[in-house]
Amino acid sequence: MSDSVNARQRLAESLAEAVAAALRADLAEQDRALLIVSGGLTPLAFFEALSTLELDWERVDVTLADERWVDESSDDSNTRLVKRHLLRERAAQARFVPLTTADATPEEGVAALEKSVAGLSWPASVVILGMGSDGHTASLFPDSPQLKDGLTTEAALLAVHAPSVPQPRISFSRHRLAQAKRHFVHLTGAEKRAVFAKALAGDEVFEAPIRAFMDAPLSLYWAP
Ligand SMILES: O=C1O[C@H](COP(=O)(O)O)[C@@H](O)[C@H](O)[C@H]1O
User: pLDDT, tens digit, for every residue of 121-167?
Assistant: 999 999 999 999 999 999 999 999 999 999 999 999 999 999 999 99
Whether the per-residue pLDDT at 79 is higher than 90: the answer is: yes
For residue 67, give the ligand 1 atom closest to its CA.
16
Binding-site residues, ligand 1, Cβ < 6 A: 38-42, 65-66, 78, 130, 132, 139
Closest CA to ligand 1's atom 7: 40
Q: Which atom of ligand 1 is nearest to the CA of 64?
A: 14
Angle among Cα 169, 172, 173 to the nearest 5 degrees reads: 110
Q: Which of 82, 131, 134 to mutate to test the pocket of ligand 1 (most atoms within 8 A of CB)?
A: 131
Q: What is the whole-number distance in angstroms between the Cα of residue 105 and the centre of ligand 1?
A: 20
Instruction: Grade residue 4 by pLDDT with cuts at 50, 70 and 90.
Output: confident
Ligand 1 pocket test, candidate residues 8, 36, 37, 42, most atoms within 8 A of CB: 42
Q: Domain span at residue 85?
A: 3-223
Q: What DSSP line would sit under 82-127, residue for residue?
A: HHHHTSSGGGGGSEE--S--SSSSHHHHHHHHHHHHHTS-SSPSEE
Pocket test for ligand 1, best of 11, 35, 38 (most atoms within 8 A of CB): 38
3-class DSSP state of 21: helix
User: pLDDT, tens digit, for every residue of 93-122?
Assistant: 999 999 999 999 999 999 999 999 999 999
Q: How far apart are CA 196 and CA 201, in angstroms?
A: 9
pLDDT score, position 62: 99
H or E element in which residue 184 lies:
strand 182-188
pLDDT band of 2, cuts 50, 70, 90 = confident
Buried b (16+ CB within 10 A) or exposed e, 130-164: bbbebbbbbbbbbebebbebbbeeeebbbbbbbee
pLDDT at 123: 98
pLDDT band at 216 (very low <50, low <70, confident <90, very high): confident
Q: What was the pLDDT predicted at 16?
A: 98
HSE, side-chain direction, 13 A CA sphere, residue 101 = 17
What is the percent of the chain with per-residue pLDDT over 90, rounded to a whole number? 97
Give residue 92's pLDDT band: very low, low, confident or very high (50, 70, 90).
very high
Note the pLDDT tens digit of each residue in 156-213. Answer: 999 999 999 999 999 999 999 999 999 999 999 999 999 999 999 999 999 999 999 9
On the CB side of 28, how many CA atoms lie within 13 Å of its CA? Answer: 5
pLDDT tens for each residue of 19-45? 999 999 999 999 999 999 999 999 999
User: Reading across the β-sheet that carries 126-129, which strands appear in turn?
Assistant: 95-96, 60-64, 33-37, 126-129, 182-188, 218-223
Region class of 40: left (phi > 0), else alpha (psi between -120 and 50), else beta: left
- Report the pLDDT value the prediction gives residue 199, as an integer from 0 to 100: 97
Atom of ligand 1 minimally distant from the CA of 41: 8
Q: Considering its fold, how many domains does the chain have in total?
A: 1
- Pairing outcome for strands 126-129 and 60-64: unpaired
pLDDT for residue 1 is more than 80: no
CATH code at 30? Answer: 3.40.50.1360
